[in-house]
Amino acid sequence: MSAGGATTAGGTTSGTTGTGGGVNAGGTLETGGAAKTGGVTNSGGSSANEGGTSGPGGIVNAGGSQSSGGAMRTGGSSPAGGSATGGANTMGGTPNSGGTTSAGGSTGTNSACPGADAAEFALVQTWLSNTAAVGALPSYAYSNIKTNFPAGAAFNKLACSIAMSCVEFAPAETDWLRKCEAVLTSAIVAESSYNPNSVVTDSYATRAITGGTANDPTVGLLQIRFSSTVHDYNYNGPMAKMAGIGCSWPAALTTQADTAAFWATAGGTTYVTFMQDIACNIGLTAWYYFYNATGNGGPAALWISDYCANKGIAGNMVVGLLSHLQGGSYTRPADPNNAYPWGIECCTCGNPSGCSCTGCTGRFAAFMGIGSTSSRPSPDPFLETLSPEPTKYCK
């Protein structure tokens, strides 16, 4: 690793898919995906690792991989996100979702989220509060939103963090501002079911390092890991965009030497609160999802340093999600039927093996008003080619 964190393109971001589902909802725990060290009970989604640390080679089964050979995930997640017991029916799109329309022309701004289009901010608010929506978020997620993000400033910050993360990091292709908003709103169920304080200490978090033991859990709404996503953004990401989302980046990190021991240990001690900040957590994950979706579509893993050197190869949303789940060196070719992207796109309950989810009418599909009871939407947004944009994702 150079001082600039170059090869880190990121260990993986997403946690292992697994048993974490929405335990508090009483639903079926997810069975798909890699073996995880335990999902976040009571929060819905599962957790598991987030990505690896910088270093040579990663520990695949532990979940993070090192930047150079990204292994499994950076942000924990159960395949589809939590279990399904109280979820809405999987039929139909959500009311007020705006269907497949794009953000369209500006409708002005809302003082609670001045950087985002007012209509998009209001739409995300609707998604987060419309418990009557058919096929959208499961009931335990709405319950956690009400508990952890009560009406007012806390709720507005959640909606604005999603909206602004997409203002900054949504791909340039048509309608991807709204598609980005729907991906993030759904993915939080898969990772934490809207418990912002979720901290998961998996086997990778306590791996042996030179001179001791790591302290490197996955943290927050989208289960990011300090040694992976935070590390990679610190040395390669555009700080002005993170500030635009509302994330105050720790000043000490901007001059931090890229030493393996620091990045392997500080994530479980000094920087937990930073990673739990929802603007930082959602913003960092959006960046990781979409830089991979727009650049890690080739036959071998491509890390952030190479992406920023204009070597990215177009991918798609499945590539971005699997890079978060399994690491940049996810199993190729990208499998659209993997339970993690499938659940985020299609299933109210999450993992299709955990409920009778035979078509694509829940979660992202419901927000966007697409999909059917028998198949995924056609054309499928998750398989749409997304081209590299290093000027957007790199400093």
Domain-embedded: residue 384: yes
Confidence of residue 92 (pLDDT cuts 50, 70, 90): very low
Domain-embedded: residue 59: yes
pLDDT at position 352 is 65
Confidence of residue 204 (pLDDT cuts 50, 70, 90): very high
Question: How does pLDDT run across 233-276, given as a tens digit for each residue?
Answer: 999 999 999 999 999 999 999 999 999 999 999 999 999 999 99
Question: How does pLDDT run across 269-321, given as a tens digit for each residue?
Answer: 999 999 999 999 999 999 999 999 999 999 999 999 999 999 999 999 999 99
Confidence of residue 357 (pLDDT cuts 50, 70, 90): confident
Q: Is the pLDDT of residue 63 over 70?
A: no
Instruction: Look up residue 163 and give its amino acid.
Output: A
Domain-embedded: residue 291: yes
Domain-embedded: residue 106: no
Nearest to 133 by CA among 353, 375, 365: 365
Domain-embedded: residue 149: no
* Adjacent-strand bridge partners of 113: 110
Structural domains counted in the chain: 1
Instruction: Look up residue 296 and give its amino acid.
Output: N
pLDDT at position 282 is 98
| Mean pLDDT, all residues of the chain | 79
Nearest to 351 by CA among 157, 82, 95, 122: 82
User: Could you tell me which residues come within 8 angstroms of residue 64 by beta carbon, excluding any fewer than 6 positions away?
Assistant: 11, 12, 49, 50, 51, 52, 53, 58, 71, 72, 73, 74, 204, 216, 225, 227, 228, 327
Collapsed DSSP state (helix, strand, coil) of residue 140: helix
Confidence of residue 376 (pLDDT cuts 50, 70, 90): confident
pLDDT at position 74 is 53
User: Could you tell me which residues come within 8 angstroms of residue 360 by beta carbon, excluding any fewer than 6 positions away?
Assistant: 345, 346, 347, 370, 371, 372, 375, 376, 377
Q: Which domain holds residue 260?
A: 6-86+194-393
Domain-embedded: residue 91: no
Is 0.85 topped by the overall pTM?
no
Domain-embedded: residue 13: yes
79 neighbors 20 (Cβ within 8 angstroms): no
Question: How does pLDDT run across 167-185, given as a tens digit for each residue?
Answer: 999 999 999 999 999 999 9
* C-alpha–C-alpha distance, residues 332 and 311, integer Å: 18
Report in angstroms the alpha-carbon separations of 352 from 342, 344, 348, 376. Answer: 8, 10, 9, 13
Nearest to 191 by CA among 325, 66, 337: 325
pLDDT at position 106 is 58
pLDDT at position 351 is 59
pLDDT at position 97 is 34
Domain-embedded: residue 272: yes
User: Could you tell me which residues come within 8 angstroms of residue 259 by beta carbon, excluding any fewer than 6 positions away?
Assistant: none
Q: Is the pLDDT of residue 2 over 70?
A: no
